[in-house]
């Protein structure tokens, strides 16, 4: 997964209810056009999700997720055969269909806990795998999340899940870790994870940060509309980069690409 420099995943939610762009890209053609725009702005990959994982959300059926995701992957790769496509799913059946359609990365917000078949599928496919920390499940994760030490507990969880993936045959070179900003965390928990990101980077796997447009940023900046939280997102991208994150999952590709370019220029020695 690890390329020469930082990599940007452009977010493409093919859902009616994603917290910031729900319903915008349900139509495969509209989705493919948006993906093309993000690739032109410098996205290294497109992360496609067919089920919202916002706080309080309900799962969709496997059939519905497949119906949403696979046609969009096909439409994107038809127009951009070399595009890197990541599928944001915890279902092995969706990941399998997405890989068959040309996706190259699996992004599992449950860190292989959502479907016992996922580890073997990814191991057989030999593809990169993103393992994310989530406290509980989207429906209830924001109801008073509590930790003794959020950084230590998230770090230890991710270390255990990486061990589990590798024991199941996933190549260690293909594992990336993600603290799961906003997934069962208060504002203070999110800030502690950002401030101490090196603790997770220190596990030795590429770290992905997915803070884009999230609610905690609105709490800090007073920006009510999720779509307007670009500047706060850019701040987390630069802070995350300076603390060792190299993968960034964002809605607003150009803004984050340009911020990363400046951060890279400063720190590239
Ligand atoms: N690895 C990873 N995957 C993720 N998938 C979804 C969301 C939620 O954001 P979004 O996709 O914009 O919203 P929704 O879940 O409502 O579709 N955040 C992450 C994240 O932080 N890391």
The three state secondary structure string of 248-266 is EEECCHHHHHHHHHHHHHH
Please give the pLDDT value at position 72. 96
Ligand 1 pocket, CB under 6 A:
11, 13, 15, 18-20, 49, 52-54, 88, 107, 109, 130, 132, 178, 180-181, 208, 210, 249
- The strand pair at 45-49 and 7-13 is best described as parallel
126 CB-near residues (< 8 Å, 6+ apart): 171, 174
Q: Work out which ligand 1 atom sits closest to the CA atom of 210.
A: 21
More confident residue, 231 or 27: 231
The reported pTM is 0.96
Q: Work out which ligand 1 atom sits closest to the CA atom of 212.
A: 12
Mutate to test the pocket of ligand 1, among 210, 211, 218 (most ligand atoms within 8 A of CB): 210
Angle, CA 74 vertex, CA 205 and CA 59 arms, to 5° = 65
Please give the pLDDT value at position 3. 57
What is the 269 CA–ligand 1 centroid distance (Å)? 32
For residues 159-165, give the mean pLDDT: 98
Has residue 2 got a pLDDT over 60? no
Catalytic residue positions, numbered: 214, 249
The model's confidence at residue 57, banded by pLDDT at 50, 70 and 90, is: confident
What is the 125 CA–ligand 1 centroid distance (Å)? 23
Angle, CA 79 vertex, CA 77 and CA 83 arms, to 5° = 45
Please give the pLDDT value at position 191. 98
The protein residue with its alpha carbon nearest to ligand 1, atom 3, reads: 109
How many Å apart are CA 85 and CA 106, to the nearest integer?
Answer: 9
Q: Which two tokens stand for residue 35?
A: 């993906």
Q: Work out which ligand 1 atom sits closest to the CA atom of 180.
A: 21
What is the 100 CA–ligand 1 centroid distance (Å)? 23
Mean pLDDT of the chain: 95
What is the 22 CA–ligand 1 centroid distance (Å)? 12
How many Å apart are CA 133 and CA 181, to the nearest integer?
Answer: 8
**Dmax of the chain from CA atoms?**
49
Mutate to test the pocket of ligand 1, among 53, 181, 218 (most ligand atoms within 8 A of CB): 53
Please give the pLDDT value at position 17. 87
Complex prediction ipTM: 0.97
Q: Work out which ligand 1 atom sits closest to the CA atom of 17.
A: 16
Fold of the domain spanning 7-267: TIM Barrel (3.20.20)
Q: Work out which ligand 1 atom sits closest to the CA atom of 54.
A: 16
What is the 59 CA–ligand 1 centroid distance (Å)? 14
- Nearest CA to 46 out of 60, 32, 57, 58 is that of 32
What is the 152 CA–ligand 1 centroid distance (Å)? 22
- Nearest CA to 46 out of 18, 86, 77 is that of 86
């Amino acid at each position: 997964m690890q390329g020469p420099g930082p990599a940007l995943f452009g977010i493409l939610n093919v859902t009616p209810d994603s917290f910031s762009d729900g319903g915008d890209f349900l139509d495969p053609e509209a989705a493919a056009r948006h993906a093309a725009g993000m690739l032109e702005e410098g996205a290294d990959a497109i992360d496609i999700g067919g089920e919202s994982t916002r706080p309080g959300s309900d799962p969709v059926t496997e059939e519905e997720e497949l119906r949403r995701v696979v046609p969009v992957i096909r439409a994107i790769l038809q127009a951009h055969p070399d595009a890197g496509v990541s599928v944001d799913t915890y279902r092995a059946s969706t990941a399998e269909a997405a890989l068959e359609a040309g996706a190259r990365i699996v992004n599992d917000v449950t860190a292989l806990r959502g479907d016992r078949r996922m580890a073997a599928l990814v191991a057989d496919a030999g593809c990169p795998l993103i393992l994310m920390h989530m406290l509980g499940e989207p429906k209830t994760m924001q109801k008073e999340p509590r930790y003794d030490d959020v950084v230590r507990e998230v770090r230890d969880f991710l270390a255990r899940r990486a061990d589990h993936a590798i024991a199941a045959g996933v190549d260690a070179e293909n594992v990336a870790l993600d603290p799961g900003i906003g997934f069962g965390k208060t504002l203070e928990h999110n800030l502690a994870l950002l401030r101490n990101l090196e603790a997770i980077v220190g596990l030795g796997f590429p770290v992905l940060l997915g803070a884009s447009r999230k609610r905690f940023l609105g709490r800090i900046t007073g920006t009510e509309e999720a779509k307007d939280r670009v500047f706060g997102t850019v701040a987390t991208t630069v802070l995350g980069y300076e603390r060792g994150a190299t993968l960034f999952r964002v809605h607003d590709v150009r803004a984050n690409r340009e911020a990363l370019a400046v951060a890279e220029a400063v720190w590239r020695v």
